[in-house]
Amino acid sequence: MRRHWRLAVDAALYALLVVLVTFSHSVVSVPLAVVQLLPLLIRRRYPGVALVVIAAATAAHSLLGMARAVGYLPMALALYGAATHRSPWVRWGVCGGAAVLVTVTGAIRHGPIEGGLLAAGALVVTWLFGVERGELLRERALIAQLRLERHLADQAAATAGSRERLARRLHDGLAHTVTVMLVQGEALRATAHLSAADEERLQGVLRAGRDALAEVRLALAEETQRDAAATLDGRLAALREAGLSVDGVAGLDALPEVAYRLVGEAATNALRHDGPGARLDAVLTRDGDTVALRLMSTPATPRPPAAAPAGGGFGLRSLADDVAAVGGTLSYGPFGTGWRVVAEFPAS
């Protein structure tokens, strides 16, 4: 719903700007007016590029005699959007350069007071509002992340306690009793003189006992898997609420329990490093005797590959050991403008 409302607000704002520019008699050059307005359509996805283009068009239009009041509106919107960017280079370097350019051209055309000082005051105020808005968004994302981590820690502790109590009851009760039965049965077969029919009956009892122990172990493993799936569902729901775009991952029940924790860690890192609006894509493929889980995070605002995080944190390093413990391999690192995590497990 928030995404749809954002599109509606952007469309209404853009239409209002087009109407104001059209009927304000401020257009000196139609091509320059188009260049001032058109990049606003990409200002959320490419705020730095949009600001540079709009600033250059506004400066040129200002030198030709553009009216100040309406002509600076596209520049103000682009400046506000770029000022919320995560990159300091965009937030301070690009925004500062664009503001200086428009201020200087305004002073040349309309004088230092009416043109330069007025433009500088309006643009600086807009710029600082954008910076403050960006800081607020990042702070909200951090708070949501901390709340999520605390919730997950509490949930994991409760789940571990419940699983430990269940395992203890099964071990001290059913598993212990069946083990005693198996030991007694083996002792009977070793010491007693049994007929062929009795030997076959005893072998059936022992086989049933071993199957019962195997079912207990399987039940514990399935309980662990169910707990991991429920934990991941809660984690993804909280991350979506904090601004991450991620779809449910199908097929994890065929993988070890560590795969659930791996998806949760990758999703958390995507929101932490790329901020609200980031996206996590998961692909599960099978090639012969290997099942590969690929997780790719993409920031909402594309960035140069060099700006991607350069190394994995403690979470991924710890998970690499857990993946290796079940016979798999884990690799991760920057990929394009985002981050990729690849885990490979034996198909068995």
SS (H, E, C) 226-238: HHHHHHHHHHHHH
Please give the pLDDT value at position 1. Answer: 53
Residue ranges of E strands in 190-249: 245-246
Other C-beta atoms closer than 10 Å to the C-beta of 262 total: 28
Alpha carbon of residue 207 to chain centroid: 49
What would the mean pLDDT of 226-246 be, rounded to a whole number?
Answer: 75
User: Is 228:261 a contact under the CB 8 Å cutoff?
Assistant: yes
Contacts of 74 (CB under 8 A, 6+ apart): 17, 36, 37, 40, 54, 58
- The most distant pair of C-alpha atoms in the chain lies apart, rounded to whole Å, by 116
Please say if the pLDDT value at position 213 is more than 60. Answer: yes
Three-state secondary structure call for residue 27: coil
Instruction: Compute the distance between CA of residue 329 and CA of residue 295 in angstroms, rounded to an integer.
Output: 14
Backbone φ and ψ of 60, nearest 5°: -65, -40
Give the pairing of strands 279-287 and 290-298: antiparallel
Q: Are strands 338-346 and 329-335 parallel, antiparallel or unpaired?
A: antiparallel
Separation CA 217–CA 206 (nearest Å): 17
Structure tokens at 70: 């309406």
100 pLDDT band, cuts 50/70/90, is: very high
User: Is the pLDDT reported for residue 296 higher than 60?
Assistant: yes
User: Over the chain, what is the mean pLDDT?
Assistant: 78
Residue 166: partners with Cβ closer than 8 Å, 6 or more residues away: 220, 223
How far is it, in rounded angstroms, from Cα 201 to Cα 196? Answer: 9
Average pLDDT over residues 252-274: 81
Q: How far apart are CA 9 and CA 44, in angstroms?
A: 13
Q: What would the two tokens of residue 255 be?
A: 């993988």
Q: Provide mean pLDDT across the span 196-204.
A: 80
Count the helices and strands in the chain (H runs, E runs).
12, 5
Residue boundaries of the structural domains of the chain: 2-140, 245-348
Residue 312 reports pLDDT greater than 60: no
- Calpha distance 186→183 (Å, rounded): 5
* Closest of 229, 231, 267, 273 to residue 246, by C-alpha: 267
Cβ atoms 41, 14 nearer than 8 A: yes
Cα 122 vs. chain centroid, distance in angstroms? 35
CATH architecture of the domain 245-348 equals 2-Layer Sandwich (3.30)
What's the pLDDT score for residue 134? 87
The reported pLDDT for the residue numbered 250 is: 73
Tell me: pLDDT of 297 over 70: yes
Give the C-alpha separation, 157 to 3, whole Å: 35
Q: How many CA atoms lie within 13 A of 177 on its CB side?
A: 6
In this predicted structure, what is the pLDDT of residue 223? 58
What is the pLDDT at residue 252? 77
What pLDDT does 307 receive?
47
Q: pLDDT of 113-136, one tens digit each? A: 877 888 888 888 989 898 898 888
pLDDT at residue 310 above 60?
no
Give the highest mean pLDDT range of 69-78, 146-155, 168-177.
Answer: 69-78
Query: Does residue 283 have a pLDDT over 50?
Result: yes
Of 95, 93, 89, 92, nearest to 75 by C-alpha is 95
Mean pLDDT value of segment 207-226: 67
Q: What percent of the chain has pLDDT over 70?
A: 83
For residue 308, name the pLDDT band (cuts at 50, 70, 90). very low
Among the listed ranges 2-6, 66-70, 143-147, 319-323, which one has the minimum average pLDDT value?
Answer: 2-6
Q: In this structure, what are the phi and psi dihedrals at residue 67, rounded to the nearest 5 degrees?
A: -65, 135
* CA–CA gap between residue 32 and residue 26 (Å, rounded): 11
pLDDT greater than 80 at residue 189? no
Output the CA torsion sign for 238, 10, 41, 91.
negative
